[in-house]
Amino acid sequence: MRNLKIIAIVFVVISALGFIDATYLTFQHFSGNIPPCTIDGCEIVLTSQYATIAGIPVALLGSIYYLTLLILSILFLDSKKVNILRLASYITIAGLGTSLYLVYLMFFVIQAVCQYCLVSATTSTLLFIAGLYVIFKTSKKQVANKQTISPVSNTQ
């Protein structure tokens, strides 16, 4: 349980960073600004046709994703209910898949790089790795708890 608490704290920190990054981009989008970028490409990426889905900024969807993970992680730390952390861990699979797709679009379709998008891709990847740890650790415990000792027949 101690390792899961540490992983939940990792979830809190990383999802908070992702939330700050995505929320910053969301505010910039709605204010009509392009955030300052140390590499050329943010404006191209953030104003591309792929920056919104049905008029909703991808950054806003990212904010919701990270906020969901942040809330679930805090709920786990408060309740110690492993299923809450497992749910957060499974959600990271969708986050990683989305990030991989968006990074693909950025590099190969848009052919420009946004540093804020790379931060989000990194946080999604780290959350996925932490989530895999939770899934594997809790699966082993569930299997171990479900196994019962049964007598082995030695007849042939």
Handedness of CA 56, 47, 45, 25 (dihedral sign): negative
pLDDT at residue number 22: 98
Q: Which domains does the chain have, with CATH numbers?
A: 2-140 (1.20.1440.130)
Residue 2 has what pLDDT?
84
How many angstroms separate the CA atoms of 22 and 106, rounded?
16
Find, among 2, 144, 130, 125, the residue nearest to 72 by Cα. 130
How far out from the chain centre does Cα 93 lie? 7
H-run or E-run covering 78? helix 58-79
Q: What's the confidence (pLDDT) of residue 33?
A: 94
CA atoms of 8 and 128, how far apart (whole Å) = 12
Q: What is the pLDDT along the chain (156 residues), one digit of tens a residue?
A: 789 999 999 999 999 999 999 999 999 999 999 999 998 899 999 999 999 999 999 999 999 999 999 999 999 999 999 999 999 999 999 999 999 999 999 999 999 999 999 999 999 999 999 999 999 999 876 655 554 344 444 444
> According to the model, what pLDDT value does residue 142 have?
60
